[in-house]
Amino acid sequence: MKMRNWQLPLTFVLFMTGILLVSAIEALQGQEDLPTKTQSENLIAKIETQEKELSELEKQIDANRKSLDKYQESISSGKKEEESLKYQLDRLKILSGISDVEGAGIIIHLDDNNKGYEAAKNKDPEHVTANDFLIHDKHLLYIVYELREAGAEAISINGQRVVSSSDIRCMGTTIGVNTIALSPPFVIRAIGDPDRLSESLERKKSQYYSLKMAGYPASIEKQSKLIIGAYKGSYQYSYAQPKEEQ
């Protein structure tokens, strides 16, 4: 079979077209591969940069956490010191009597022995002295001493807080406590162990026991909670001064 004249040129054209088409496809694939490789390299570089930044951030977070821990420790230490100072201040306020206090304790009721006086006067009016049947400053002083020995942490007489500088003395027909004139009946409040305080007063030879045995109206009430007001007097020291540090 003979090839016609027009078939040979057509075959050549088709052959060359195929070669060009293959070359174009290969060139196109090569161009597509190049950006893909570049993008991968860029992506890897970005990842490495982000990893470095993340590492730096982790270091910064760790440093901030340590700084925060130190700050919290400082705050905690400051709170403990503040609580300690507050506790000491509260104790000093209680000891000095400049603040109201509350707690368990006892209430003592005392009054003049009017019935004893009337009975003695009826029996022997010529030898009876009313003064012998009254509550005197020494009676209150002894009772205060006995309460302190029994561990009383706060004491008051008819609302007057008794502190280290308090004076209890006779003022004519009354008794002065912190320079305030008080008259019977007397109500003594004491904060402390109720059992220990009452046992101390009710033992033989105590001032309270002697008054009760002599017929003076006297009683003790144990309280789970009572309130004693603050000392309202002044603190004046003419000679005592804080010691200077050498």
Map out the domains of the chain as residue ranges.
Answer: 10-96, 100-228
Whether the CB-CB separation of 225 and 102 falls below 8 Å is answered with yes
Q: What is the pLDDT of residue 200?
A: 95
CA distances from 148 to 74, 111, 189, 193, 196 (A): 41, 21, 12, 11, 11
Whether the CB-CB separation of 136 and 170 falls below 8 Å is answered with yes
**Angstrom distance (rounded) from CA 99 to CA 90:** 9
Q: What is the pLDDT of residue 99?
A: 83
**Angstrom distance (rounded) from CA 128 to CA 122:** 9
CATH superfamily, domain 100-228, is Protein of unknown function DUF881 (3.30.70.1880)
Q: For the chain, where are the alpha helices, taking DSSP H only?
A: 7-96, 114-123, 137-149, 194-202, 207-213
Mean pLDDT by 10 residues, the chain (246 residues): 49 56 55 55 65 69 73 70 68 69 96 92 86 93 95 94 88 90 96 96 93 95 94 69 66
**Predicted TM-score (pTM) above 0.75:** no
Q: What tokens appear for 180 in the block?
A: 């305030």
**Cβ neighbourhood burial of 137 (10 Å; 0-12, 13-18, 19+):** middle
**Angstrom distance (rounded) from CA 108 to CA 143:** 10
CA quadruple 93, 104, 228, 197: dihedral sign: negative
Whether the CB-CB separation of 136 and 171 falls below 8 Å is answered with no
Residues 6+ apart with CB under 8 A from 72: none
What does the radius of gyration of the chain's CA atoms come to, in whole angstroms? 50
